[in-house]
Amino acid sequence: MTNKLAVFLVVIIILIGGCAMTQREHAISSSPSAEPENGARKFPHNISAEHVKAAFEEYANYRLWYYPDEHNPHIDLQSHIGKEINADMLVFESDPDHIYLRTEASESLGIIVNKDGFVYLDGFVEPENPNRLYPQGKHAKVATIKVKINEPRKPNYGTSPRKVNMIQAAERYAETLCKDFLSGEESALWENADNYILDFYEYQDIIGIWWIRKDGYASTTPVQIIENNHAFQSHGIKGYSIADFTKHDELYTSEKRFIADAVKRMACRP
């Protein structure tokens, strides 16, 4: 690839990321009107039904893509592939900071989060779970949406200039680890180990990093990215290792799919 072409592609990627940001901000300003269901006040959040629909679709796709065999006690996504699910957007007086999603497919409620403009479905809560407070009391129905559960595909993690900076911070961290591994007693084992930075949603602050050594040993060394005055710092998080990672095709399917979808691949070389 020539340098000019590379620069052109980077510019296009940044422009696409910029457009996505603009669309998201525009959509946030167009929330639908709320109809109180139990006499509660109107929903105060600046989130649209389109956001919630997209968040539910992305959540369902993510679960089906990385955890196809998962038994989800809240909602059976597998059996809904190719079908539509109706869902009400609710806000409760007991938890006015969140939108909840009540689907026809489950008694559990989905939790919608708006973090710095990124709207996503942060899982479900069930009425009987003593470890998690289920919202109680008066609530308002903000809107009803229909969500089609499609065949899973690689998640749409999105891109932006900020995300590029986060990836670069993760790369710098991986390079530091590589130098450390190559300077210690086990250096020969780490030479030419493949290194993968997993893709991520921008609202996440912990990024997965995997290392696969030539002897089949693999290790994940997550990194937390902390933004401070527009600078991105990295902070190691506890991971784990797998001795026989490449020796069993049938095992570690989720890990292998995450690695296949990595946003960056490098090698650990002296």
Q: Is 207 in the site for another protein (CB under 8 A)?
A: yes
Q: How far is the CB of 84 from another protein (least distance, A)?
A: 22
Q: Is 92 in the site for another protein (CB under 8 A)?
A: no
Q: Is 124 in the site for another protein (CB under 8 A)?
A: yes
Q: Which of 49, 50, 73 is nearest to 63 (CA)?
A: 73
**Helix, strand or coil for residue 27?**
helix
Q: Nearest-5° angle of CA 219, CA 233, CA 270? A: 50
Dihedral (C-alpha) 157, 162, 163, 168: value to the nearest 10 degrees? Answer: 170
Q: Is 200 in the site for another protein (CB under 8 A)?
A: yes
Angle formed by the axes of helices 161-183 and 3-28, to 10°?
Answer: 120
Compute the radius of gyration of the chain from its Cα atoms.
21
> Applying CB under 8 A, which of residues 204, 232, 261, 264 lies at the interface with another protein?
204
CA 96 to chain centre: 24
Task: Choose the stretch contacting another protein; rule: CB under 8 A; options: 30-38, 45-53, 78-86, 201-209.
Answer: 201-209
Q: Nearest-5° angle of CA 19, CA 22, CA 27? A: 125
Q: Is 84 in the site for another protein (CB under 8 A)?
A: no
Alpha carbon distance 232, 202 (integer Å): 13
| Cβ-proximal residues to 241 (8 Å cutoff; 6+ apart), any chain | 217, 218, 219, 220
> Applying CB under 8 A, which of residues 54, 60, 99, 111 lies at the interface with another protein?
111
Nearer to another protein, 37 or 205 (CB): 205
> Applying CB under 8 A, which of residues 84, 183, 265, 270 lies at the interface with another protein?
183
Alpha carbon distance 70, 54 (integer Å): 22
Nearer to another protein, 104 or 185 (CB): 185
Task: Choose the stretch contacting another protein; rule: CB under 8 A; options: 18-26, 84-92, 151-159, 200-208.
Answer: 200-208
Cβ pair 33, 44 in contact under 8 A: no
Residue type, 214: K
Cβ pair 245, 218 in contact under 8 A: yes
Q: How far is the CB of 184 from another protein (least distance, A)?
A: 3
Nearer to another protein, 34 or 106 (CB): 106
Residues 220-259 contacting another protein, CB under 8 A: 220-222, 224, 235-242, 248, 251-252, 255, 258
> Applying CB under 8 A, which of residues 72, 156, 160, 246 lies at the interface with another protein?
72
Q: How far is the CB of 72 from another protein (least distance, A)?
A: 5
| Cβ-proximal residues to 195 (8 Å cutoff; 6+ apart), any chain | 174, 178, 209, 210, 211, 265, 266, 267, 268
Q: Is 211 in the site for another protein (CB under 8 A)?
A: yes
> Applying CB under 8 A, which of residues 4, 5, 71, 231 lies at the interface with another protein?
71
Q: Is 43 in the site for another protein (CB under 8 A)?
A: no
Q: Which residues bind another protein (CB under 8 A)?
A: 67, 70-74, 111, 122-125, 129, 131-132, 177, 180-181, 183-186, 189-190, 198, 200, 204-208, 211, 219-222, 224, 235-242, 248, 251-252, 255, 258
